[in-house]
Structure 1
């Protein structure tokens, strides 16, 4: 839960950014790389070497007065540790335990500010990154200088509010005096309470507390600050701090944090084969960022009592179902199991699965009910320990059948039209609930895939009627396909015909330029803003490719394999596709369904080095709690998933070999490249063996990672026939597929089901 870091006065969704923006504080909880407003960053602290003329009112208390430039070249970061020195020559090191941040401030022998004695002052402000605090309290405890308090804040991408609490203690110098501040003035009062107005609007008044010390007693002029955090109470914040870091041992806490991170990362072993340090940094950074969220808030949930785990910062599942959760399933299946159980406990107590959630608040839905995909993906990949699958199936049926009053924050809207018309109409009449009436195209294709996933689980559990019902609904994307729709770029015909288009309730067609909502035309107009767009963060061009459950029928609809490949090439090469948005990820690998896995390899070897690297622009879009990181990590390991299905696309790893140790079975799965070339001239698979036997499928199942084994890929400099036959492509329903959903595949034997759960007693009222 604790994620300490410096906060800047510029773009600060994650708190810190590697630009030239000044430092305004150091706070103890953050969400990583979010695309909404700035998140968390509650109760920042800030150090001064002393106040000019030894007057507490000459120190700067407001964020805009105290902001201080960083000293270039002083940032040092590694898992479990961060270090930065600011222009006042104060060095700040930080580390964390589960609920507690620990800072070590090293003060200069001679303060930079003139007429200043070395009597360090550290302030703590009742604020968050987005400045949403509506009420608050801070208490100064004499004689030890402990600061406790809390406040009420707003979530960054949702509705409601949340309360947060802190407990700050200090070690390394004798306390001189302490008090509170308001606006830019300080005093020695011991308590400050801020009462919210009647509308509970954020208060703009800077407020907080301060503690001042005599010169530190150690040779390094160091003071250690420990800040425990809680969402329950001040007392629990103090208990968290005292239990987790009882002795202010900074070096020992760093060592413990590094040990835990090394255990998390060591499940991956690579033989890099001589690739560049830039790519190695990109890879390990991607893995690291993928493990930051969702966050374990178990024991800190103020909303209900439960013996189940509670995870937060699902930011958002529309982003994370595609690659974050599948990567966690591979690298940390225990954590993914706890997350699945947490999602179900949220459903148990709030009546709907979340599609986005942060700070105990309901976040905004961006498209479908995508926790459905996370649950089904988990089932087919053996994420089962302690999971109530009866409850899970009930939750899925609720998403498919029961429209909530506010589908902007949970569930699906437009279900009457979805069931009766087979699509979400433009300007839909919705008498059941309310929500933002846009994105009719993207919602339609996403609902269709949600229902596909429900159908596959219904089949597993023996619900034949449900299987056919939801499998039928999964084909609703075809109802928005306009076969004669053309597309132009700069008044030049692209030569491709047939795209998803808006449709009204009476069955007549609307129009959205197929490139609208792409980088070529009005991309910024297509977020969660009302009006004017029927796709979300992407174009009709892109969403026409989103049929993950039945790519074979899509290929047939678009003219067959060769026309499909040409159209997919155009998507990638024309500037229509933006790889910095999550729904672009799967499009890199769709060539596999057309029997052209070599083309997928070409795309991965373009996007990774050009868009994912160690420059300031080395993450192409907001990281959304690790979405970009998980995409690059999976892609570089050569195993990208089709989330919601037991399918991993095979492309050559960016290393000579990569091995993943499974946390459930202890077995190791290794993918090894033969003829590996670190300059990546050999990027095409010529042949493959699995445990020494020829392997021609261009995809893997999760059983490979559970059972372990060696997949050996022989590489060459030109595209080959490997993985190109109809029986070699991933499972699909239509004429270019194998006609199955996780069924028996011609020429390769049966899909491995040994790791799937047995049929359960699923008797319950399915009319929900």
Structure 2
């Protein structure tokens, strides 16, 4: 029986692979709408990149918000630059955008409009096009831009409309934030190499960073020649748009300044060719390293390397996308487009900066764009754990190595520096997740588990002098078992003392991650008990006397003397009648981060039975969830809401989760430029949608995944550590359910689950080892709403998903 299933599986894989180039299914422009004036935004990056690339190459526009440089529509382009964030919030002008190039024509060398706003140009209507590993657009003056890339290098090509003298601006100073604090440019006209280095501000953090670039314009295997060269710079900082071009000058140097300079400066090259090709490399070590990166990754014969580089990038993406296979001819075309576009964005970051760590020597990988762990621990890392554990190993090692260097697990590394802590230290659930899933093969994978566990313990126990950018306020946490309002740490440690209630909830989950790691790694039972008990501290901010919409009991801030500080439960919800602040800063006046008490009061993913009981039992819990959605407290565009549509499972009503998830997906996501309900947040939204579409949802730092109603009739899931392919079959799949409100009688409800021919006791959750085990999982659907409501999660003591308080999460190796 198993043999025949494998043969059917191999046939399915072969037929799909033969028919479809998966990269052709990716829509890179989902989530690129303007976020201005209440727009959905998304801040997705549609430029050229390989999976987890350092170099993300794309055009930059002159309107904000533009966190990824790009915005769909009619905004003017100011350049094509080498580095970008993906889907983040933070500074609305964006992060990175370093060393932009800009093509010019119809000018003389000394009169060319090299300044940022003097040169900006509109795109031709409908000219933007992209696929994984490639981006192109055309200006209204018919100059075409193309780019393709490797991990730290790539190629940019300009095609001009006619044979004439053509020009390329090499901009030193104008990153996306206009935050230049010093640097240099050097032109070697004989070799055609331009070296750059500059210091700029983080997009989300208190620091600056230094980056280096290398451009080559004279390929050995081409007749492309430079006929003029020089530099340009502002006459003075007080007149930055008054710019002088100096022919034949080969270098500029600007000493470091402690605040951004408005000066504009860079290089200008002239060519006698209608096509100009540039090879580039980037580095955080030196300009020489940037040149070496270009040479190693693109090669010496780079005039003829375009197809090689682009094909290699596409091949890497085919490999990543091919870890989830559906029959694209059979399944709904919108679902297929959403699935593969989401899988793509979920693997753009974190960015692999291995060999580019400018701060400490280490044999371990270095990753950037951990921006932020608060955003990504819920979905991005659990998705990597299923399909891409070998890539995830590098990221996990980078988290551990951050602890080796600083004493704490990194939280929000951005632009190579520590960014702001948003909530808890949310790298903790990430390391806990790895420990429970791969602790048994960690040595084979190259992850030192003793270091992993010590990183968790140190981050759980120690309070940094300033927990503004790393670590937790553990002094308070260990004294009170919650984070008190208006309390001064007697140790002198400081940080941003807001978000007290939500930090309590997240610290609790962090300690659960330590407990899980202790179990998985065979630590003493006393350690397991200690962190398990501490993880229940979320109950200490539960105020049973607060009432809203006739429901009693909500999470609230609490003073050191034990009394509560009231915040309206709907404060900071989408329907807040009196505007409140739930931002990270000192203006936060509710105690929650980017969410309301109505929403955060449902957050204890490791012990949901506790919340069900606090709220009055399963029936009241269901009514309260219904009220949360019907009253408009749900905000699909931010992370605290991610799990909410799935929480009916914990009241043994997976049928209601199935209906709710259909509504959430079809109301909030789509294939258009406004197809993401908020920032993509470093792939967090993309990974969330992937889980929704596959009918799975991960429980943090555990080996359990909730089962939902898949949006496809079958899929194969490949795990590249175990080298397994697990086949999921959805029996009685009904395409009529692919709508926000499935019609009565359509097969939306899970009626049974069979794992390798064995009926499962639960229709609410699956063990991780079965999801990646390489067998066959059959999910049978029906349309009988009455039967679905009465079958609950199944029979037996283990039908409900685990909760710590009710004896769940017992370790079995």
Provide the TM-score with structure 1 as the length reference. Answer: 0.91
1:224-262 per-position Cα deviation (integer Å, ceiling 9, x unaligned): 111111111111111111121122221221111111111
In the alignment, what sits opposite 2:528? 467
Q: What is the rounded CA distance, in whole Å, between the counterparts of 2:225 and 2:470 in structure 1?
A: 52
Q: What is the rounded CA distance, in whole Å, between the counterparts of 1:364 and 1:100 in structure 2?
A: 29
1:707 pairs, out of 773, 781, 798, with 773
Q: What is the rounded CA distance, in whole Å, between the counterparts of 1:497 and 1:300 in structure 2?
A: 53
In the alignment, what sits opposite 2:156? 103
Is 1:742 the equivalent of 2:810? yes
Shift of 1:457: 2.1
1:156 pairs, out of 203, 220, 225, with 203
Trace 1:139-154 onto structure 2 (pairs within 5 A).
139-154=186-201
1:643-692 per-position Cα deviation (integer Å, ceiling 9, x unaligned): 21111011122111111111012211121111212231422112221122
Are the counterparts in 2 of residues 449 and 547 from structure 1 also a CA contact under 8 Å? yes
1:84-108 per-position Cα deviation (integer Å, ceiling 9, x unaligned): 1111211111110111131111110
SS at match of 1:599: helix
Q: What is the rounded CA distance, in whole Å, between the counterparts of 2:297 and 2:82 in structure 1?
A: 15
Are the counterparts in 2 of residues 594 and 724 from structure 1 also a CA contact under 8 Å? no
Q: What is the rounded CA distance, in whole Å, between the counterparts of 2:523 and 2:56 in structure 1?
A: 44
In the alignment, what sits opposite 1:292? 348
In the alignment, what sits opposite 1:763? none
2:703 pairs, out of 639, 646, 649, with 646
Q: What is the rounded CA distance, in whole Å, between the counterparts of 1:305 and 1:132 in structure 2?
A: 28
1:210 pairs, out of 246, 268, 282, with 268
1:71-126 per-position Cα deviation (integer Å, ceiling 9, x unaligned): 1211111111111111121111111011113111111027xxxxxx4433343333
Shift of 1:377: 0.3
1:511 pairs, out of 566, 571, 574, with 566
Q: What is the rounded CA distance, in whole Å, between the counterparts of 2:490 and 2:160 in structure 1?
A: 63
1:592-613 per-position Cα deviation (integer Å, ceiling 9, x unaligned): 1111111111122111122111
Stretch deviating more after TM superposition (682-691 or 341-350): 682-691
SS at match of 1:395: helix
Is 1:497 the equivalent of 2:552? yes
SS at match of 1:305: coil
1:434-462 per-position Cα deviation (integer Å, ceiling 9, x unaligned): 11111110011111111122122223423
Shift of 1:275: 4.5
SS at match of 2:557: coil
1:571 pairs, out of 617, 624, 628, with 628
Q: What is the rounded CA distance, in whole Å, between the counterparts of 2:804 and 2:365 in structure 1?
A: 37
2:678 pairs, out of 609, 614, 621, with 621
Q: What is the rounded CA distance, in whole Å, between the counterparts of 1:696 and 1:93 in structure 2?
A: 54
Shift of 1:464: 1.9
1:127-183 per-position Cα deviation (integer Å, ceiling 9, x unaligned): 311111100100110223321110111211113221111110125632111111113
In the alignment, what sits opposite 1:259? 315
In the alignment, what sits opposite 1:765? none
1:266-323 per-position Cα deviation (integer Å, ceiling 9, x unaligned): 1111125744433322221111000011011000111111111111110100111000
Shift of 1:419: 1.7
Are the counterparts in 1 of residues 169 and 266 from structure 2 also a CA contact under 8 Å? no
Are the counterparts in 1 of residues 61 and 79 from structure 2 also a CA contact under 8 Å? yes
1:612-655 per-position Cα deviation (integer Å, ceiling 9, x unaligned): 11122211111111011010011111111012111101112211
Are the counterparts in 2 of residues 684 and 715 from structure 1 also a CA contact under 8 Å? yes
Are the counterparts in 2 of residues 272 and 656 from structure 1 also a CA contact under 8 Å? no
2:495 pairs, out of 428, 435, 447, with 435
Stretch deviating more after TM superposition (6-15 or 710-719): 710-719
1:335-372 per-position Cα deviation (integer Å, ceiling 9, x unaligned): 11111111111111121111110122111111111111
1:315 pairs, out of 371, 385, 399, with 371
In the alignment, what sits opposite 1:270? 326
Q: What is the rounded CA distance, in whole Å, between the counterparts of 2:610 and 2:580 in structure 1?
A: 32
Provide the TM-score with structure 2 as the length reference. Answer: 0.86
Q: What is the rounded CA distance, in whole Å, between the counterparts of 2:329 and 2:727 in structure 1?
A: 15
In the alignment, what sits opposite 1:229? 282
The count of corresponding residues between Structure 1 and Structure 2 is: 719
Is 1:326 the equivalent of 2:382? yes
Shift of 1:516: 0.5
2:180 pairs, out of 115, 133, 140, with 133
Are the counterparts in 2 of residues 686 and 722 from structure 1 also a CA contact under 8 Å? no
In the alignment, what sits opposite 1:693? 758
In the alignment, what sits opposite 1:362? 418
Is 1:670 the equivalent of 2:730? no
Are the counterparts in 2 of residues 353 and 410 from structure 1 also a CA contact under 8 Å? yes
In the alignment, what sits opposite 2:668? 611
Are the counterparts in 1 of residues 436 and 516 from structure 2 also a CA contact under 8 Å? no
Q: What is the rounded CA distance, in whole Å, between the counterparts of 2:140 and 2:511 in structure 1?
A: 56
Quick one: structure 1 residues 138 and 428, their matched pair in 2 at CA, closer, same or farther if it must change by over 3 Å? same
Q: What is the rounded CA distance, in whole Å, between the counterparts of 1:360 and 1:119 in structure 2?
A: 36
Q: What is the rounded CA distance, in whole Å, between the counterparts of 1:148 and 1:271 in structure 2?
A: 48
SS at match of 2:802: coil
Q: What is the rounded CA distance, in whole Å, between the counterparts of 2:749 and 2:105 in structure 1?
A: 59
Are the counterparts in 1 of residues 609 and 803 from structure 2 also a CA contact under 8 Å? yes
Quick one: structure 1 residues 44 and 8, their matched pair in 2 at CA, closer, same or farther if it must change by over 3 Å? same
In the alignment, what sits opposite 2:515? 455
SS at match of 2:260: coil
Is 1:682 the equivalent of 2:761? no
Q: What is the rounded CA distance, in whole Å, between the counterparts of 1:705 and 1:687 in structure 2?
A: 16
In the alignment, what sits opposite 1:178? 229
Structure 1 outlier segments of 4+, above 6 Å: none
Are the counterparts in 2 of residues 581 and 621 from structure 1 also a CA contact under 8 Å? yes
Trace 1:232-243 onto structure 2 (pairs within 5 A).
232-243=285-296
Quick one: structure 1 residues 523 and 296, their matched pair in 2 at CA, closer, same or farther if it must change by over 3 Å? farther
In the alignment, what sits opposite 1:375? 431
Are the counterparts in 2 of residues 316 and 355 from structure 1 also a CA contact under 8 Å? yes
Shift of 1:430: 1.5
Give the RMSD, CA atoms, in angstroms: 1.6
Is 1:403 the equivalent of 2:456? no
SS at match of 1:120: strand
Are the counterparts in 1 of residues 676 and 685 from structure 2 also a CA contact under 8 Å? yes
1:43 pairs, out of 88, 99, 108, with 99
Is 1:723 the equivalent of 2:783? no
Stretches of structure 2 that go unaligned for 5 or more consecutive residues are: 1-53, 235-242, 738-745
Stretches of structure 1 that go unaligned for 5 or more consecutive residues are: 111-116, 488-493, 744-750, 754-768
Stretch deviating more after TM superposition (516-525 or 315-324): 516-525
Q: What is the rounded CA distance, in whole Å, between the counterparts of 1:333 and 1:31 in structure 2?
A: 23
Shift of 1:205: 0.7
In the alignment, what sits opposite 1:392? 452
Are the counterparts in 2 of residues 281 and 613 from structure 1 also a CA contact under 8 Å? no
Are the counterparts in 2 of residues 669 and 707 from structure 1 also a CA contact under 8 Å? yes
SS at match of 1:589: helix
SS at match of 2:606: coil
Is 1:27 the equivalent of 2:81? yes
Shift of 1:16: 0.9
Shift of 1:395: 1.4
Shift of 1:724: 4.3
In the alignment, what sits opposite 1:7? 60
Are the counterparts in 1 of residues 703 and 768 from structure 2 also a CA contact under 8 Å? yes
Are the counterparts in 2 of residues 672 and 710 from structure 1 also a CA contact under 8 Å? yes
